[in-house]
Amino acid sequence: MRRIAIATLAAIVGLAAVRPAPTRAQDPSPAPPAPTAGDAGPGPEEALTQKIAVWRLDALGLEAELVTRLEALFRSELDRLAKHPLPSRRDMDAAVGKDRKLRECTGEDKCLTAIGAKVGVDVVVTGSVAALGDSYILNIKAVDVKTGKQLRRIETDPLRGSPDELIDAVRVAAYSLLAPDQLYGSIVVLSDLVGATVTLDGKAVGKTPLPGALAKQPLGTHTLRVEAQGYIAFEEQVDVRFQKSTRVVVRLAAEQPVIETGDGTPRVVVRDEPRPWYTSKWAYVGAGALAVTLGAVIGWGLGKDDVINCIPPDLDPRCTGSAP
């Protein structure tokens, strides 16, 4: 299983490497790179201006090669998020030089701050990758070099699945750590009915057709409801994924369908409400037959004569003491 996992991560890193790196223009507000074929997804809405470096990801209970692959993928996603290119592993080692304390840094804020100062960055990221069955958990943190304080620490959900799913999970981890305010997706509502009210999580957002996607929605599950007078309301749980548009097609069914008669005039077909079984005519017929049968049985029992035989030899014991 480990070899399969390594091969999978190799394919993932290959896919992520196909996408073009974001342009580092001199313009202070460069346009985000447009997604292209083979791209892992759109770039950030706003690139981070801080200079970022990744110290390393330590392996906990899994092979070093696997962690190296996952660290390369994580570096790639941070590189997409940042305006300035990340220093390479070789750059980091060269900056640290022969300083043994820094080379043996295991993630303490103090030594990470010193490493960041030597490399010349604003934020240093480090963490670990732990094995959980066939899944992996990233535990990462970011430290501000200027203040020496931890900016944020996160622990991801178990990472597993297809290459596309793993790429998305690692991208979410990168944004959760350094750009949580850009962590959202969108919902596109398509309906063939004009004027239906669209509600998301209990809040009205417009009427169909909506002018565009419901953008900047938090990741996770949302309740979408579409309703109109004379139609059965539509309600569904919709999952919003990172930088993805979830498409929902809504077709409302009429409560009282209208059909055309032979002469072209419309006629409303009213659906009868279901009635309890005991209100049907067959229930009444059955109840009447049962009453007649019970009455006959009871009448027969009450009208039966009690005959006592006082003639020997079949003399009834109740005849004792009677007149001869």
* CATH number where 37 lies: 3.40.50.10610
44 and 157, same domain (yes or no): yes
125 and 203, same domain (yes or no): no
| 123-132 and 52-60 strand pairing | parallel
Q: Is residue 281 part of a domain?
A: no
74 and 112, same domain (yes or no): yes
Cα gap 188→202, rounded to integer Å: 17
Among 209, 235, 257, where does a domain finish?
257
68 and 100, same domain (yes or no): yes
Domain containing residue 195: CATH number:
2.60.40.1120
Q: Is residue 74 within a helix (H) or strand (E), and if so which, with residue range?
A: helix 64-81
Q: What local confidence, expressed as pLDDT, does residue 191 receive? A: 93
Return the half-sphere exposure (C-beta side, CA atoms, 13 A cut-off) of residue 215. 5
Rounded to two decimals, the pTM is 0.62
Q: Is residue 283 part of a domain?
A: no
Whether pLDDT at 184 is above 80: yes
Count of domains in the chain?
Answer: 2
Domain assignment of residue 150, given as a range: 2-182
Among 205, 228, 257, where does a domain finish?
257
Determine what percent of the chain falls in helix, strand and coil, rounding each to the nearest 5.
35, 25, 40
For residue 39, give the nearest of 142, 148, 164, 128 by alpha carbon.
Answer: 164
117 and 59, same domain (yes or no): yes
Which tens digit of pLDDT belongs to each residue from 125-175? 999 888 888 788 889 999 999 999 999 999 988 877 666 777 788 888 899
Are 233 and 226 within 8 A, CB to CB?
yes
100 and 246, same domain (yes or no): no
Among 209, 228, 257, where does a domain finish?
257
Which tens digit of pLDDT belongs to each residue from 222-279? 999 999 999 999 999 999 999 899 999 999 998 876 565 566 665 554 545 556 666 6
191 and 129, same domain (yes or no): no
In the structure, what pLDDT confidence band is assigned to residue 44 with cuts at 50, 70 and 90?
Answer: confident
Return the half-sphere exposure (C-beta side, CA atoms, 13 A cut-off) of residue 223. 6
